[in-house]
Every structure is written in structure tokens, then in C-alpha cells.
Amino acid sequence: MFKNPKILLFDLAVLVVLIDQFIKYFVIEKIPTTGIFLVNQTWLQLKIELLYNPYIAFGIKLNLWLVYIFIIILLSVLMILFFQAIKKNLLLQAIPLLVITSAAFSNLIDRVVHGGVVDYLSISVLNYNWPLFNLADTLIVLGAIALIINETRKPICEN
């Protein structure tokens, strides 16, 4: 009746990539170059606008070949950690690792296809502009937070 948990995890990974890529396709094809405001208040602005970001997190500039080496190493480490968590049946560790890996893979697809990550969410609070980001970036951060919470909840001394 129910699928194998490993198959469900694979389905989750595919779903993360497909949803992220669909949103990016929609933004590329349907959002005007000037963008659109979802919220436009004096203290808060939320806008959808397209940016191809060739850099890594928070606009850190690296040579292109260093970016790809960094991403390949990061994805490899994440996959190793994910398979170790699956082997030990640690789903609370495996799920965030899978979400992070899937989201990072989706951003890698952008780099290969578009020459940079497709960022589209712009937030400005009290005239502080946060760097543009996307759903995959958000999932990476939320996955990392989930891993940190999971690690802090473990007992310090296991007998």
C-alpha cells in the first residue's frame, strides 16, 4: 500500500527540482524585465525580478571553474552524508540533506543551462535590500536550519 521510504525520498528530490525549475521557467518566460511588485510599501517591498547570478552564495565572486569545483565537492559530500543517514535509518537527518542536495542540484542545472543561477525574489525592508534569491536558496537555508536543530537536540553523551 505505501511506497518504500527510499522511493518516497527519491520522489521528494525530484519534486523539489521540478517545482524549483518550473518557477524559474515561469519567471524567465512570463515576468516582465522591469519585474512586478507583490508588496510595495515604504517600509517593505517584495518584488519578483529576474537575475542570472553567476556567483555563489550572497554574490561571492569566484572564478567559474572554482564555482563548479566547489559545487561538485559540496554535492558529493551532501550525497555521502545523505546515504550514511539512510543506511543508519536517520530520516530526520536524511530528509534535510536530501532537500539541500536537490535544491543545490537545481541551482547547478541553472548554471549549466543559463550560465548562472536564476534568482527572482527581491526583498527590501526599511531600505535594506537583501540579495536576490530563489526557492532553491530558501530550501537550502531551511534544510541547514533543520540539520542544526536536529544536531542540537541530540544528547551530548550517549551511553
| Domain presence at residue 140 | yes
| Whole-structure pTM value | 0.87
Helices (H), the chain: 5-30, 64-87, 91-114, 135-152
CA distance 140 to 156: 26
Q: Which residues are catalytic?
A: 119, 137
- Tens digits of pLDDT across the chain (159 residues): 556 777 888 999 999 999 999 999 999 999 998 999 999 999 999 999 999 998 877 667 777 888 889 899 999 999 999 999 999 989 899 999 999 999 999 999 999 999 999 999 999 999 899 989 999 999 999 999 999 999 888 766 654
| Domain presence at residue 130 | no
What per-residue confidence (pLDDT) applies to 156?
Answer: 65
| Domain presence at residue 144 | yes
| Domain presence at residue 100 | yes
Cell numbers placing 2: 505505501
| Domain presence at residue 157 | no
What per-residue confidence (pLDDT) applies to 142?
Answer: 97
Residue 107 to residues 2, 75, 101, 111, 154: CA-CA distances in angstroms? 31, 11, 10, 6, 31
| Domain presence at residue 129 | no
| Domain presence at residue 158 | no
What per-residue confidence (pLDDT) applies to 111?
Answer: 93
Q: Tell me the residue range of the domain where 89 lies.
A: 5-33+45-124+135-152
Domain count of the fold of the chain:
1
| 40-69 b/e (C-beta count within 10 Å ≥ 16 → b) | eeeeebebbbbbebeebeeeeeeeeeebee
